[in-house]
Chain A
Amino acid sequence: QKEVEQDPGPLSVPEGAIVSLNCTYSNSAFQYFMWYRQYSRKGPELLMYTYSSGNKEDGRFTAQVDKSSKYISLFIRDSQPSDSATYLCAMSETGRRALTFGSGTRLQVQP
């Protein structure tokens, strides 16, 4: 079983929809949680990061962490065609230098 599970999609939504992307994990020692966006044939870029449980908002993006359920989410409001990309979750333990990534969810926002 992978440490981090993520539905590969693709997830197709109309422009303006609210998008919910999720990851589950098994390692209870994970403390840092990140979301990356990866456009086709590009390297991943960091969208948001959070420490431990709670919510964090940045513009149209909200990251949510529920450590009791080992479940993290990324919400995108008013989705745009430019949001079409693969979204990767990543997480790490305190003191552990390298990140563990989910396999990514491909999102398509239809105009």
Chain B
Amino acid sequence: NAGVTQTPKFQVLKTGQSMTLQCAQDMNHNSMYWYRQDPGMGLRLIYYSASEGTTDKGEVPNGYNVSRLNKREFSLRLESAAPSQTSVYFCASSDGDRFVRGYTFGSGTRLTVV
């Protein structure tokens, strides 16, 4: 009963470095999402994928790219990390037909850019 698995759990990057955050779900969900959570700002949508093969920008996409590798996996890439990208990143998934019943979230990746 893994649900949504995110790796890594913690990461420290230097400004300008790149990295990919990995996310995998085993619930056969159609839709997957990447959010960032900052103090006082709540959860803000970076990108989402309504189904395999499609991706769309969310509220704060600048500085990020995504890949929906297959139905299970949805990765988030920072090409050139900036201190403003220091945040907690959450991946989530939902059954596309019943998204109203809510997302299943991963446990998060804590990223610090110095």
**B96-114 CB contacts (< 8 Å) to partner A:** 96, 99-108
Per the bound structure, the CA–CA distance linking A15 and B80 in Å amounts to 47
Tell me which of A32, A42, A88 contacts B42 (CB under 8 A). Answer: A88
Closest A residue, CB atoms, query B41:
A103
The size class of the interface chain A forms with chain B is 20 to 34
Closest A residue, CB atoms, query B105:
A43
- Spot the interface stretch: B13-21, B43-51, B60-68, B69-77: B43-51
**How close is A65's CB to chain B, nearest CB, in angstroms?**
13
**A27-81 CB contacts (< 8 Å) to partner B:** 32, 34, 36, 41-46, 49, 51
Per the bound structure, the CA–CA distance linking A56 and B14 in Å amounts to 48
Per the bound structure, the CA–CA distance linking A6 and B102 in Å amounts to 19
Interface centre among B4, B99, B104, B106 (most CB of A within 10 A): B99
Per the bound structure, the CA–CA distance linking A81 and B50 in Å amounts to 38
**How close is A3's CB to chain B, nearest CB, in angstroms?**
10
Q: When the two chains form their complex, are residues B50 and A102 in contact, meaning their CB atoms are under 8 A apart?
A: no
The size of the chain B interface, using a CB distance under 8 A, is 26
**A5-42 CB contacts (< 8 Å) to partner B:** 6, 8, 32, 34, 36, 41-42
Per the bound structure, the CA–CA distance linking A104 and B41 in Å amounts to 9
**How close is A54's CB to chain B, nearest CB, in angstroms?**
15
Closest B residue, CB atoms, query A95:
B99
Q: When the two chains form their complex, are residues A43 and B108 in contact, meaning their CB atoms are under 8 A apart?
A: yes
Per the bound structure, the CA–CA distance linking A92 and B102 in Å amounts to 10
Q: When the two chains form their complex, are residues A46 and B58 in contact, meaning their CB atoms are under 8 A apart?
A: no
**How close is B46's CB to chain A, nearest CB, in angstroms?**
10
B-chain residues with CB within 8 Å of residue A32 when the two chains form the complex: 100
Per the bound structure, the CA–CA distance linking A51 and B48 in Å amounts to 23
A-chain residues with CB within 8 Å of residue B107 when the two chains form the complex: 41-43
